[in-house]
Structure formats: structure tokens, C-alpha cells
Chains A and B, each alone.
Chain A
Amino acid sequence: MKKYKHMHYQINDKGYYGGFGGAYIPEMLHANIEELKTQYLRIIEQKDFQDEYKDLLSNYVGRPTPLSYARRLSTKYRSKIYLKREDLTHTGAHKINNTVGQILIAKRMGKTRIIAETGAGQHGVAAATVCALMGMKCIVYMGEVDIKRQSPNVTRMKMLGAEVRVVKSGSRTLKDATNEAIRDWINHPVDTYYIIGSVVGPHPYPDMVARFQSVISDEIQKQLKRMEGREFPDKVIACVGGGSNAAGAFYHFLDNKEVELIAVEGEGLGITSGKTAATIRIGEEGVFQGSKTLLMQDHEGQIVEPYSISAGLDYPGVGPFHAHLFKSGRGTYLVATDKEALAAAFELTKLEGIIPALESAHALAALKKIVLLPDEIVVVNLSGRGDKDLEIYSKNGNYE
């Protein structure tokens, strides 16, 4: 990880992206967060950490992931479309980039018990995987609703030796799993390390997770240089739940204004339907799960339960990184409905032979919503593969 000076879009020394971020945590977590804050950069910059992290990324995760030119998709949309293939990583989504990094930090901090939250189950699987690899105890919190709709991942986590704890509070989805993980951490502050799965939570998590995911845009730069003779695309498109795959795909392009950064949220059944997860679009500033950000809330400041067909996007907040990119105008934030995402998933499957995760399908759906020029280079971050979503695809499929 090179040290880039992104004057305006990176975290400042107080842990804020513009007006968003910070560490709004109860005193019970102060010592933990302080410990992490004082150690994470020091650890990440150590040579032995870098060596081990890079080795695991290439020889265990399977990086660099390909940047595939999508020929038939490009013809259809009259543009040059590349797919960044995070679906081809070990465990099948970008989430592993982050868990590999954080488990190495946890080890160096002497922690022995790992906790994580998960929505789609991809982060849970990625956490369980690195815990198996390192021989560490792993507990994953997952909402009851998500356990039902992403059951293959529950089986994987259990097989990997993780304990999956069913969360039955609130909307029984990602936000509630995150609450329970934070409560667990309050109850086990000494031996436990909390591996957060996205660029959310109190500082330093958003920055740490963004750094670990930044390998995505680092590789895109190098691959485009080789394939197109230039280091940057015209557009990068990524889906946003908490925002980690998007943060990683945007990271090295933040200061290059020639690159349009396009993020896509889960619109669910429609912005005005009351069944949506389009946080940026309808959210307002507030404090939630440790940071000041945009979130879906009512006039009393109660959190509004989100909805998206995609468990990984079904979250009422968004990382402070994205709240700031949106407010500053640097990022373009679009939405895609359940239906549009499903259509995009089937389209990619038929045209390119790739079954995407439902989350990633939201990014693909944006191709229909933006103006594309014939010579433009567009990179869509294919954050994960669709195996976990087969049940939903088969229910909604149109196979003729």
C-alpha cells in the first residue's frame, strides 16, 4: 500500500472524512478503539506484516484478480466495459481482502477470539476462513432473515468451524447483527478482536478497511496500464452496502477528477415504497454504530429498517467515506431496484458466462442508467459471485 495524499477525500487526523466519521462509542469501547487506533497504521507499515499480507493475497486469496474485458456486454452498451473479478477470489467476494488484513492485525495485537457480523454471509465466510487458517476461535453474528436467504454461506461458516449466532432483534438483518457484534465486544473487551466487514463503524475501522480493499484499484491501475496503455478508466462502478468494495475500487482514483466514481445502492422496491436501502438518497446526517454519517431515520431519530433483495446491501447506514464523497460531489450515487438488479444478473450470465452476486448485480444495473460513450473505458467492480444467491435467482428466473 503506497502512501497517497488525497487531500480532500481521505480521513483526517481526527478520524473524519469532511464532516463524517469519528468514533461515537460508549466508554466501554474506548480502550479497545484507542488501542486499535494507535496500532493499526504502525502494524500495517511493518515489513513483516506487508510480506505476510502480500503473500496471503497472492498465494491464498488468488490475487491479482483478472480484469476481464466484457466483449458482448461492451457491444451491447457501446462502450469498453471491463469487469474487476473479485468474484474469483478465494471465498468468492472482495470481503476476504479485508479479513486477511485484519486477522494479521488481530494476531499482532495478541487477540485470541474473533467476532464478526455478516449480512450476505460473504464477510462471515471470509472471517471464518481466515480464522480457520490461523487457528483462531470465530463467532459470527447473522440476522435470522439473512440466515434464511443466504443459507449456503451459513453451511460454509459452520464447516469452517465458526459459531454462527442467530440475531433476532430489530429487522433481523445486517444492522442488528452489527449491534450484537458490538455488544459482544463490550462484553469481551480484552481477548476479542472485532473484524468489521465494511467501511463502517468507529474510526479507525473505515480507514483500515478502505486501505485493505484499496488493492482493488491498485490492481485496476496496473492492469489498465498493460491492457489500454493508461492507468485509469473513465468510469468506475461499484455497489454500496456499507461501501467497502466501492471504497476499494475508487481508492486510487479519488484525486483523479478524470475518473467518474459511480456508486449504486439497493433501491429495493422503490425509493418512495418504504422498502428500500438507498441510504444516500433518502438518508440524513446522524450517528449510528460508531460514526457520524448518512442514515435512514425518521423525524425522531429512530433508525428506519431497510429493505433490499440483496442481504449485503440491506443496511440503513453507509460508510462515512461515501457520505463525504456524496456531499462533496466527488461521487455519483445511483440506485437500482431489486428487479433491475435481477435483470442485470441474468444479462451478465447470458452475455459473459458469469453469475454475479446479487450485490454486484446492482452495479451492473447502472449500465442502463448512465450515458456511455463508445471509446470510454468503464470498470464495473464485480464484488462477488452468485452461488449464494442461486435460490433467489431460481425463484425469479426466466430461462427460455
Chain B
Amino acid sequence: MSRLKTLFKHKNSNILNIYITAGFPALNDTILIVQELEKAGADIVEIGMPFSDPLADGPTIQASSQKAIENGITLSKIFEQVIEIRKTVQIPLILMGYFNQVLKFGVPQFFRKAREVGIDGLIIPDLPIDVYKNEYASLVDEIDLDLIFLITPQTSNERIKMIDKLSNGFLYQVSSHSTTGAQQDLQTSQIEYFKRVKTLNLANPTLIGFGIFNHDTFTAACQYANGAIIGSAFINAVANSTDLPSTIHQFVKDISES
């Protein structure tokens, strides 16, 4: 059974998934950050593959990506870091990045390499689900990698069900009409959308992401989904940290406890 399936089997609420841009703030900080996140109690870590033109990301993740690229991050470096991380870390690890880099690496090669180094799932926001279905779905089944797709407030129920069928691991429920990094309290229209998705009885667990940035938004999201994903807020926290372990433990504590 995949690590994600095992996780959700044992814990199906208040799942905390944290996103960190690989190679940020310093090139090799990724290793320590993921190790500390596990110790602090994060359930899943998403490792971002920095891309020069990240369309779905707001200013925080754009800036961290640019910094990481300047630091010298590459895909092979990320794979090396994951190998190092996997020496101790047991929680599910996901790679998130843009399709051009995967295409350039070679899609089958990339999928296999990711699995080989200990990655459990992939999120590729600009890989359309129909292209995935026609060209890559069978390969993914074969190598037991979880492909995680996004749903948004604009996604129809019918389409959500279709995406649910093609997804493994969990569904990434984008909380609002936005790129990453928006910070405001949840609106009633968002709550209605969360409720709507909840009534669909989907096969996959759902995690709510984009705009989750503190204890209140995390707890609110967890009422309607199996957990939530935090990215920009965590990037901001580590960006200026002089003591990564204590920053990380404090961050996770602040999110989990009121």
C-alpha cells in the first residue's frame, strides 16, 4: 500500500500538509526542513520543484522559486536531496512542479526516478487531466505513483467525480479563485463550496489548499476536508529564520494549537 493510503487509513482528519520550495532558503536546507517538519508533526510534505515561470503561484512562491534557482537547484539535486531525506523520514513526500520540466526530463523517466528515490505522489498543475488520462495514466498505475489533481470552486460536480476517478492519494481542493499565497479569512461562498464537495462522497480524501495560512483557516478547512495544505505562509516563516528547527516547530505548533 502506498504511504499516502496508509496515512489516510490511520488518520483521516486534521492532516497537515506543508509545502516547501526545494533549494530554499539555502540550497541544501530542504533536507533539514523536511526532517524537522516530520519531527514537528507534519503528516505530508510537498516539495516544490522551482520553475522560472510558475503560473499558478503568487509572489511568495515565485520569489522562493527564483531564489532557489539562483541557489543552483536542479531536478537531479532535488532527487539527491530526497534520497538523503528518505534515509530517516517516513511520512509521504510529494513533488509539485510544472509540466515543462517533467517533459524535458522525459515523462516516464521522471515518474520512475521520482518513485525510485522515495516520492509517493506528484502534483503537476498544468498537466491537463485528459492528456494525463490518454498518455500517462497506465504508466502511473504500473509504477504505483499517486497522481494528485486539483479541483476548484469552478469545477462542476460531474468533473470533480471524473477527476476523483483518475486521482490517487488525495484530491487537492483549491480553496478559492486564486493563485497561491492569498491571505484572508474564509468567505461564506468558500464554505458553501467546501460543503458541496463534502456531499459528493468522493473515493479520495480531500485536502484544502491555497490561502490556508494560520490556525483559524487550518481548523476551518479541516471541518470540511481531511486536512489542509500550507505553502506561502510556511515559506514566509522560513525565509527569514535564523534557527530553522525552532522556527519549524513553532510554526507547526501555532497551526495545530489555538
A residues adjacent to B (C-beta < 8 A):
22-28, 30-32, 169-170, 175-176, 179, 182-183, 186-190, 284-290, 295, 297, 299-303
User: Is A188's CB under 8 angstroms from B177's CB?
Assistant: yes
Contact among A186, A189, A285, A286 with B56 in the assembled complex (CB-CB below 8 Å): A186
The 10 closest A-B pairs by CB, nearest first: A301-B104, A301-B101, A31-B154, A27-B150, A26-B125, A302-B52, A26-B56, A303-B52, A286-B100, A301-B100
Let me know if B99 is at the binding interface, CB within 8 A.
yes
Identify the B interface with A (CB < 8 A): 51-53, 55-56, 58, 62, 66, 69, 74-75, 98-105, 125-129, 131, 149-152, 154-156, 159, 163, 174, 177-179
Bound Cα distance A301, B150 (Å): 23
Partner of B74, one of A169, A175, A176, A300: A300
Number of A-B contacts (CB under 8 A): 104
Complex CA gap A28/B159 in Å reads 13
Known A28-B56, A170-B53, A301-B105; judge A186-B100 contact (CB<8 A): no
Asked if A169 and B100 make an inter-chain contact with CB atoms under 8 angstroms apart, the answer reads no
Given contacts A27-B152, A30-B154, A301-B101, is CB(A187)–CB(B53) below 8 Å?
no
- Whether B53 lies near A28 (C-beta < 8 A) is no
Q: B12 to chain A: closest CB distance in Å?
A: 24
Q: What are the residues of chain A within 8 A of B154 when measuring CB–CB?
A: 28, 30-32, 189
Closest CB-CB distance, B34 to chain A, in whole Å? 21
- Contact indicator A170/B125 (Cβ below 8 Å): no
A182–B155 CB distance below 8 A: no
Please tell me if the beta carbons of A27 and B174 are within 8 angstroms of each other in the complex: yes
* CB proximity of A390 to chain B, nearest CB, Å: 32
Which residue in chain B gives the minimum CB-CB distance to A285? B103
Given contacts A297-B100, A302-B52, contact A27 B151 (CB under 8 A): yes
- Structural contact, A30 and B51, CB atoms closer than 8 A: no
Q: Cβ of A299 and Cβ of B104 under 8 Å apart?
A: yes
Smallest beta-carbon distance B235→chain A, Å? 16
Inter-subunit contact B103/A286 (CB<8 Å): yes
Taken together as a complex, chains A and B put the C-alpha atoms of A284 and B104 apart, in Å, by 9
B104 in complex: contacting residue of A22, A187, A290, A297, CB < 8 Å: A297
Q: Which of A28, A287, A295, A299 is in CB contact (< 8 Å) with B177?
A: A28
Given known contacts A27-B174, A170-B53, is B131 in contact with A183 (CB within 8 Å)?
no
Not counting A30-B128, A186-B56, a sample of 10 additional A-B residue pairs whose C-beta atoms are within 8 angstroms of each other reads A26-B55, A26-B150, A27-B151, A170-B53, A176-B53, A189-B154, A286-B103, A297-B100, A301-B51, A302-B52
Contacts of B127 in A (CB 8 A): 24
- A289, B55: Cβ atoms closer than 8 Å: yes
A189–B127 CA distance with the chains assembled, in angstroms: 19
Expressed in whole angstroms, the minimum distance between the Cβ of A195 and any Cβ of chain B is 18
Known: A27-B149, A30-B155, A302-B69. A287 touches B100 (CB 8 A): yes
Given contacts A27-B150, A286-B103, A286-B104, contact A183 B55 (CB under 8 A): yes
Residues of A contacting B98 in the complex (Cβ-Cβ under 8 angstroms) = 287
Q: How far is the CB of B175 from chain A (nearest CB, A)?
A: 11
Q: List 16 A-B contacts (CB under 8 A).
A: A24-B99, A28-B56, A31-B155, A32-B154, A182-B55, A183-B55, A187-B179, A286-B100, A287-B98, A287-B103, A289-B53, A289-B55, A301-B104, A301-B105, A302-B52, A303-B52
Which of chain A's residues have a CB closer than 8 A to the CB of B179? 28, 183, 186-187
- Judge whether B105 and A175 touch: CB under 8 Å: no
* Complex Cα spacing A302 to B54, Å: 10
A302 close to B51 (CB less than 8 A) = yes
Which one of A24, A176, A189 has the highest number of Cβ atoms from chain B below 10 Å of its Cβ?
A: A24
